[in-house]
Amino acid sequence: MAFTEMQSRQLYVVNDLAAANAEVTSADSAGKFKMKKTQDGELYFAIKGATDDGLQRSDLIDKKHIIRVSATAASDMVHKMHKKEVVLKSDVNGGNPVVGQDYILTVEIKNYIACGDDSTLIKFGAARAFSNDADALYKALAINLAKNFSNESVPLIKITLKGDTANTEIKAKTKVSDLSSITATGIIIEEVEQPWRLGTARQEFVNFELIPSTIYTNGMDLIWGTVTDVTEANTNTIPNSKKVAEMEWFFHKNRGDIYGSGDCCPDTIETKYMVDPSNANGYCMLDIHYYLESSDLGVGHSEKTITLVCPNAKKADLESVVTAIEGEGITVKKSANW
């Protein structure tokens, strides 16, 4: 896994803002921090790291050399689970199945295993219409699709029947007789959260498309279904906690842990990480992008970034830092929900 950086990005996990009249000391808990200013007016952060002797100080930042500052709320970095619905087209046979036709729904999983567009998994659900009963067709199609996905080692999608009174998840062993209590009005497909392991298996999302086939009716080949993307309205979300944990793991390489903690045994650097990937509320983020400039051969801009991340529950502490930075005459670009 890799992230973008200009020469260097230092990421600090902060949990608690020190009082105005207090200093950050080795006795403080991990994540205690404070924004300070030198006599020359340069800004920097004093931070207590994860270890007992983990007192840290960021780069000195000349205010004139700040390129941009951005503050992003945790809620603006959640991932909404991809979700789509498919129903019979209302203008094809009046929205009813055409008896004797085979209805096929293709699920195309893009970037499967690899990132390229040539790495694609294609699965089908198929059912024949034996009557003009839409309910029966939806149930048969959903069950067939679930069976065809059942041999995947890791579940990729969740298949749900949209019912008149309630929605019902469909498994590979679901039978039509198990669904007698509902009348199906459509099929819902939603991605499933994938396995993750820090430094080994990066956080990935299931990018899929639904493609209804054509059926033959009234002398024409017509697409039988209408697909609606309902991702934006989906309340099932994944916080950015695992992604921030990946960032912490990666950017520690700028502090000497170039292989990542746990690799290159027995020459392993045992780094203590502070981000909790199981944090259900995610992390807020403050990015300060600036440059260093020297004389003689160092007159070029050396661009760097300092990133502060804090649990969403401690957002008020980061907001205080944003207010202090704005008080220095620096513009801070804020996300929608900041």
* 106 or 268, higher pLDDT: 106
pLDDT at residue 65 is higher than 90: yes
Helix (H) or strand (E) holding 168: strand 168-169
| Total-model pTM | 0.89
Q: Which residue has the tokens 């916080």?
A: 239
How much is the pLDDT for 54?
Answer: 85
pLDDT at 263 over 70: no
191-212 tens-digit pLDDT: 999 999 998 888 999 999 999 9
Which residue, 245, 233, 247, 302, is CA-closest to 278? 245
What pairs with residue 290 in β-bridges?
66, 304
- For 251, phi then psi, to 5°, come to -75, -10
Rounded CA-CA distance 185/162 in Å is: 6
Is the predicted pLDDT of residue 34 greater than 90, yes or no?
yes
The predicted model gives 296-319 an average pLDDT of: 89
What is the per-residue pLDDT for 238? 97
Name which of 8-22, 66-80, 106-120, 257-271 the model is least confident about: 257-271
Most confident of 19-28, 185-194, 295-304: 185-194
Domain boundaries, the chain: 8-77+239-334, 79-237
Peptide bond into 311 cis (omega under 30): no
Q: What is the mean pLDDT of residues 89-97?
A: 95
Average pLDDT over residues 309-313: 97
Mean pLDDT, the chain, rounded, equals 92
Residue 313's SS3 state is: helix
Tell me the CA distances in angstroms from 209 to 23, 203, 299, 314, 322, one per residue in order.
54, 20, 51, 38, 41
Q: Please give the average per-residue pLDDT across 16-30, as a whole number.
A: 92
In this structure, are strands 16-17 and 32-37 parallel, antiparallel, or unpaired? parallel
Q: Residue 167: its pLDDT value, please?
A: 94
